[in-house]
Amino acid sequence: MAMKALVTGGTGFLGKRLASALRDNGWDVAVLARQTAEREELRRQDIRFVQGDIRDAEGVEAACAGQDAVFHCAALSASWGPYSAFYDANVRGTEHVVAGCRKHGVSRLIHVSTPSVYFGSSHRVNVRESDPLPARQASPYAATKRLAELRVLDACALGLPAVIIRPRALFGPGDRSILPRLLEANATRGIPLIDGGKALIDLTFVDNAVDAMLLGQAAPASAVGGIYNISNGEPMPFASAVDRLFALLRQPVRYKPMPFAAAYAAAALMELAARALPGKREPLLTRAMAGMIGRSQTLDIGAARRDLGYAPTVSVEAGMSAYAEWLDSRGGEPS
């Protein structure tokens, strides 16, 4: 009999790729998601669609029944919005997933967190999981994802077999966040080039993150309660990554040079204005975004290599090429 898996957020970028990989590996897969538009595509892959919301405790609990593994990908990962919305989705949603897993005796929970919990406005390179976290996270997203981690770790102490991964900057075909933002900025106001674009960034091709999750599910009991950094292990200057992407896209790059201090101050003012204006629309630049592209922020993935057997199989270059081909097949439209 096939093993059963539930993927929360299974119509999102990571969750969708994971659900397909699980099915290809012989799992009986169900996805829990709010969006129904992709129901037919999932059906063609023999993946069951469960319409629901991780903020609904009863619905999440019911979806966890009978599952051998739960992969918790669902989250509010926007760069802007009210703290309460992030808390409801990321903290309460995780509480509901944890409760469902505990009630129904799920044999392994793989919880997707974020390395954004490490970073702010300072350079930090080769960060290990044991390195200290800042007293305050840089965004509501990072803050609530850290609280969600603590909920999972508390449950681990009570016997829930869970593994936490922190994948950095996911990209690839189907990306709805990082690369589309660069494309939009390049087409309109120009891409911020902070301090010459020398800051090191870490990227993760989406299929490498999927591999990490599958490895986390299959890992021995010694990995339970562990937190694992995930990236491609190929840090590179921000400008080098952008230049290579747009070369593959056969598009010229339009940069908007600025020093970090000016970018950070401008982002702070934009955030204040956004909070004051009706609608509270997302600023063009937030302080968290300025830190991401203007400060070197890289991970040590040695623990994942050692404990999970993680080894990135798709390089950044190959991943960017795959994205360029995918985008070209869609007539240049990422969404």
Q: Are 141 and 76 in contact, with CB atoms under 8 Å apart?
A: yes
At residue 288, the pLDDT reads 86
Q: What is the pTM of this model?
A: 0.94
User: Based on the number of CB atoms within 10 Å of its own CB, is 26 exposed (0-12), middle (13-18) or buried (19 or more)?
Assistant: exposed
Residues of the chain with pLDDT under 50: none
pLDDT tens column, 278-301? 766 788 888 888 889 999 999 999
Reported as a single tens digit per residue, the pLDDT across 252-276 is: 999 999 999 999 998 889 888 888 8
Give the bridge partners for 110, in sequence order.
Answer: 71, 163
- Residue 275's pLDDT is 81
Sorted by where each begins, the domain ranges of the chain are: 4-175+202-234+297-314
Rounded to whole angstroms, the Cα distance separating 24 from 41 reads 15
Q: Which of 91, 59, 70, 33 is nearest to 160 (CA)?
A: 70
Assign domain 4-175+202-234+297-314 to its CATH superfamily.
NAD(P)-binding Rossmann-like Domain (3.40.50.720)
Instruction: Please report the pLDDT score of residue 262 as a whole number.
Output: 92
Question: Which residue is associated with the tokens 């990321």?
Answer: 90
Q: Which residues contact 121 (CB under 8 A, 6 or more apart)?
A: 138, 264, 287, 290, 291, 295
Q: How many C-alpha atoms does 243 have within 13 Å on its Cβ side?
A: 9
| Residues labelled as active-site residues | 141
DSSP structure class, residue 196: G
Q: Assign residue 46 a region: left if phi > 0, alpha if psi is -120 to 50, beta otherwise?
A: left
What pLDDT is stored for residue 114 in this prediction? 97
User: Which of 307, 290, 177, 312 shows the shortest CA–CA distance to 235?
Assistant: 312
Q: Which of 219, 272, 234, 249 is nearest to 327 (CA)?
A: 249
